Amino acid sequence: MAFPSGAVPGIDVSLYQSVVDWARVSAVGERFGFAKASEGISGTGSSDPYFVDNWSGMKAAGILTKVSTDANRTRGSKKASL
């Protein structure tokens, strides 16, 4: 896939990817990663059991890190458009 001029490639992971091989991700040119930490309504949702491993793996591989959450405040609410 061709990226627009100046674009920085990265990936977004969650519990569905398990633990990621971040050294390999870095080797193929990805420069940042978003790791999803939690999902669901605050207090009743679930946390990603792989988050800590993925976060430390990104840091060790030199990947710029960002965390994402999906903590809806009320049931049935729509995700915010960012």
> What are the Cα distances from residue 74, in Å, to 33, 38, 82?
28, 15, 18
pLDDT in tens, 8-19: 899 999 888 999
Domain ranges across the chain:
10-70
Whole-angstrom distance, CA of residue 10 vs CA of residue 2: 13
Ranges of residues in the chain whose predicted pLDDT is under 70: 1, 3, 40-45, 71-82
